[in-house]
Structure 1
């Protein structure tokens, strides 16, 4: 999936990380420099929280939407950190079964794209489960309110015509391309309150 759009995504995410890191460092310096009450107000706390959230999303987008280099791998701790920062929220829970060893970055990318697809089917939140191994993976989504849009899900397995997605659904266009590049087939099973995506 190394194309111009993936390279642009990688570049944007890379270049945005530096100023966000500088803002975070500046907030820490403000907290250390002042006396009582320095840099501890609700305004600065909100800024710090926003910087942390933006940094977490950039890390996710860089891995999910960026261009993986041939042979590039990702450590378990780095991937787990990205997962926890982005898929452990008040409305979502995530159980992740990851290998002890490093994973090919292409397989980690497939897992994140699949999670983003599954998250789109959980409008009111729910439970996500991710299993990743060098040979393949699986994402499972469960919720009382599970709404996978057929217009997005059917094209993943060739069961429906591909339609250009909106910006919020770009993962549905990227996942099949990433799967083809990694030599993996996609399989989707939706039964009641559960949806499983294998790759």
Structure 2
């Protein structure tokens, strides 16, 4: 099976995984509506979580997205990093700055992966550096997802949990950018390839 087909299948599986939990919460809350007055609020929260996840994946993977302001990127990541335990902070970036679609999609997925490097939560710093960007996860525990490290070493990402790493590589290739991990910081650097 070719790499594109595998990535599409794994992405579908990842979407199902990300949505099944909140959907189950909505269904359970609706069943309890008659007996528990707090069930409606639980259903609303779960529906908002599903909406947030769907909006993220629609932009991160969809075609025809168009350029995006940095503020839109940060809005799409709100509540998603490390399962809501991490937040995004900007440094050297103007929230009104418009980024090309390919770069915006690449940053969305890179930030998601930086959030996955913070299993106990923390902060993902998104910095403008020269002609590129650096994402620096900061928290009690920082451990890059093994799938990202394998992808940077040239391995193909396989399986729903590894989808963001494969997607990041694909977005970087399409945008003409390179990516690398700086272990000592730790940081993920993204820079355009020099023509």
2:175 to 177, 182, 187: 182
Quote the Cα distance in structure 2 between the aligned partners of 1:186 and 1:119.
17
Quote the Cα distance in structure 2 between the aligned partners of 1:149 and 1:85.
19
Quote the Cα distance in structure 2 between the aligned partners of 1:132 and 1:155.
23
1:195 lines up with 2:191 in the alignment: no
1:122 lines up with 2:122 in the alignment: no
Where does residue 55 of structure 2 map in the other structure? Answer: 59
Unaligned runs of 5+ in 2: 27-35, 191-195
- 1:119-158 superposed matches below 5 A: 119-131=115-127, 135-150=131-146, 152-156=148-152
- Shift of residue 83, structure 1, vs aligned partner: 2.3
1:109 lines up with 2:105 in the alignment: yes
Question: SS of the residue aligned with 1:47?
Answer: helix
Question: SS of the residue aligned with 1:185?
Answer: strand
Quote the Cα distance in structure 2 between the aligned partners of 1:174 and 1:93.
21
- Shift of residue 162, structure 1, vs aligned partner: 0.2
Quote the Cα distance in structure 1 between the aligned partners of 2:71 and 2:105.
15
Quote the Cα distance in structure 2 between the aligned partners of 1:101 and 1:161.
32
Equivalenced residues, count? 164
Question: SS of the residue aligned with 2:143?
Answer: coil
Unaligned runs of 5+ in 1: 24-39
- Normalising by structure 2, what TM-score? 0.69
Q: Is the 8 A contact 1:130 1:140 kept in 2?
A: yes
Question: SS of the residue aligned with 2:187?
Answer: strand
Q: Is the 8 A contact 1:103 1:134 kept in 2?
A: no
Counterparts in 2 of 1:149 and 1:80: CA distance versus 1, 3 Å: closer
Counterparts in 2 of 1:114 and 1:145: CA distance versus 1, 3 Å: same
Q: Is the 8 A contact 1:123 1:145 kept in 2?
A: yes
Quote the Cα distance in structure 2 between the aligned partners of 1:134 and 1:55.
35
Question: SS of the residue aligned with 2:80?
Answer: helix
Higher-Rg member (1/2): 1
Counterparts in 2 of 1:41 and 1:57: CA distance versus 1, 3 Å: same
Quote the Cα distance in structure 1 between the aligned partners of 2:38 and 2:144.
38
Counterparts in 2 of 1:169 and 1:53: CA distance versus 1, 3 Å: same
